[in-house]
Structure 1
């Protein structure tokens, strides 16, 4: 199987679960695809699913006969407003201020494709509440978290210091980390990729 992503978190989850895979960047222009999908009225859930499918199909066309996993994650508030990867510490601080004291959802999509055709898809949903964050906490957190955090929607890793942001969590940690792992493993067993 090929993972159509170079996400360290997704790779780590698959490696820990002993799933055999190779990883390759999809080459999909996510910003352009997101802009087009949002212009068409895609919900956050549909956006995550469509981006995961684009990645899986793009890579599956490069490797005929090979199973490819595409994945994507979208963060949205209850009113549908989305937050992207902060990328910079200044934007991280702004996003943390937006998240402070509010609830949001993470939509983590996975799509399996072969030969340019989606075979299976699943969107996991986790709902998180962020505790009220003081300006001093936001400033300190944004200044010292690892660079990898800047590549995560919302700007936190719950498997690390980001857990301190949470007041509540409904859903599974795999979905929060960016991959609905349990449904994916079940499907891989059904396809014979993993032993039953």
Structure 2
């Protein structure tokens, strides 16, 4: 079996890929994640996922490399990782009572293959009081998550609904699409 590499240092993506029970290594890609002028959130996610996979694949010829990226889209505006408590509170206030679309792209680069898939997750955020935002942020500290919420944790209490055909996409790695891409690269997760 060729070496499988996750082009990410995200603990969330690492945990998700571990669910497939395939041996893999994780490597940090060297990619500038700055959006291009006028770049739509979906295009940004796709470009970065492929760039991450290509960067690591260039260092490990013969490997199967998975790259992924997620961008939260609030009315066409990319919402990134907040980094701080104050920035997360601002994001959640802006998202309160609105729909946010999470664009999650996954790419697989392997000998003879460079393919990408994108999963779209629609999230309806309930009306949030400042007290609810503060309580949530103190409990979950989602400062490294696009959109300032961990749906796999207490962040689920912030939402009215989640719509997706690939449930792990919201956490950062759409596993249904990842499995399909791995099969295209010649790696069957159930073998």
TM (norm. structure 2) is 0.91
Which residue of the partner structure matches residue 172 of structure 2?
Answer: 178
What stretches of structure 1 of length at least 5 have no aligned partner? none
RMSD: 1.5
Which residue of the partner structure matches residue 51 of structure 2?
Answer: 54
Which residue of the partner structure matches residue 27 of structure 2?
Answer: 24
The partner residue of 2:182 within 169, 172, 188 is 188
Cα displacement (A) at 1:118 = 5.5
- Whether contact under 8 Å (2:123, 2:163) holds in the other structure is yes
Which residue of the partner structure matches residue 117 of structure 2?
Answer: 122
1:43 correspondence with 2:37: no
1:140 correspondence with 2:135: yes
SS in 1 for 2:73: strand
- Larger helix fraction of residues: 1
Cα displacement (A) at 1:183 = 1.8
In the alignment, the residues of structure 1 paired with residue 48 and residue 180 of structure 2 have an alpha-carbon distance, to the nearest angstrom, of 22
In the alignment, the residues of structure 1 paired with residue 105 and residue 22 of structure 2 have an alpha-carbon distance, to the nearest angstrom, of 18
In the alignment, the residues of structure 2 paired with residue 16 and residue 114 of structure 1 have an alpha-carbon distance, to the nearest angstrom, of 21
Which residue of the partner structure matches residue 72 of structure 1?
Answer: 69
In the alignment, the residues of structure 2 paired with residue 109 and residue 51 of structure 1 have an alpha-carbon distance, to the nearest angstrom, of 8
SS in 2 for 1:6: coil
Cα displacement (A) at 1:187 = 2.6
Which string of whole-angstrom CA distances, capped at 9 and with x for unpartnered residues, describes residues 6-28 of structure 1? Answer: 11111111112212211011021
